[in-house]
Structure 1
Amino acid sequence: MKTKHYKIGQLASLTGLTVDTVRFYENKGLVQASQRSDAGYRLFSADDLARLQFIKRAKAVGFTLDEISELLELRLHPDDHTCEEVKQVTARKVRELDEKIAELEKIRMSLKTLHTACCGGPESAEHCSILQALDSMEAS
């Protein structure tokens, strides 16, 4: 029985990725053509298709390519790893997102304060409270 192989365009179409994205992932070592056709086209396996779908889903929930690479290693050798290790990867990501959310909330509050302080009238911006505040604020 012959194994199904895909050219890069077919793989891109099946995953909803662009050919450039598949090439990028290939250059990053996240996926690798398993062989070449008689015409020299790179051919990818059903495992590569599944791997790209995994990568796409992992990116959709916010994992970076480095984190995805780590998850792929865990996925590729599940008997050598524990669920705890996988959970640690997601726990790190949740902590990172919590920190970013807290930072964004601070930024939002600062912007709301600036916005509220401004009269927003038709006067010249020469004495605009937002511009004055930005001129005198310390960068964080």
Structure 2
Amino acid sequence: MANDQRWHMRIGEVAELTGLPLRSIRHYEDAGLVAPSACSRGGLHLYTPADVERLGVVRRMRRLEFTLDEIRELLGIVDRIAVVDDPPGDEELETLRARLEVYRRTVDTRCAVLGARLREAEDFAATLRAVADHLDHDRVG
């Protein structure tokens, strides 16, 4: 293994850091969303902090109900924008920006929906608390 061994983590450490089950990490590998940056002599997959960050993006997108294909596309956009040795030209960059904007708007919409659901759940919880308080008050009085 290389001298930068300290920057590599095993899958169990990555699972702990990301909150993802091992099975999900392996599934995302199989789906091509993330690839281990190295393998140990024993064949263990090793990950870098950048891999952990990428898995964090995948986790957040899955929680917002994006499909694996959508996640793959967004990661591809981000990867392409980050290329230094062959940066995208103006036309490609505009296309990438437009696709990125679609994802941003989608996330904004999904956040608004989740916010509305949360408010509805909070209202319902308050109603149940009021009913319980009323029952408690009736028993005391």
| TM-score grouping bracket, smaller chain normalisation | 0.5 to 0.7
How well do the aligned residues superpose, as a CA RMSD in angstroms? 2.3
Amino acid at match of 1:87: E
Work out whether 1:43 is the aligned partner of 2:46: yes
Equivalent residues in 2 for 1:1-140, closer than 5 Å: 2=4, 4-78=7-81, 80=88, 81=93, 82-90=96-104
CA distance in 2, matches of 1:87, 1:94: 10
What's the secondary structure of 2:47's corresponding residue?
Answer: strand
CA distance in 1, matches of 2:65, 2:28: 16
Q: Which has the larger radius of gyration?
A: 1
CA distance in 2, matches of 1:13, 1:45: 14
CA distance in 1, matches of 2:30, 2:55: 13
TM-score scaled by length of structure 1: 0.59
Please tell me whether the aligned partners of residues 15 and 53 of structure 1 are also in contact (alpha carbons under 8 angstroms).
Answer: yes
Question: Percent sequence identity over matched residues?
Answer: 32
- How many residues of Structure 1 are paired with residues of Structure 2 in the alignment? 96
CA distance in 1, matches of 2:14, 2:34: 11
Q: Which has the higher helix share?
A: 2
Superposed structure 1 runs of 4+ greater than 2 Å apart: 79-83, 88-95
Amino acid at match of 1:50: E
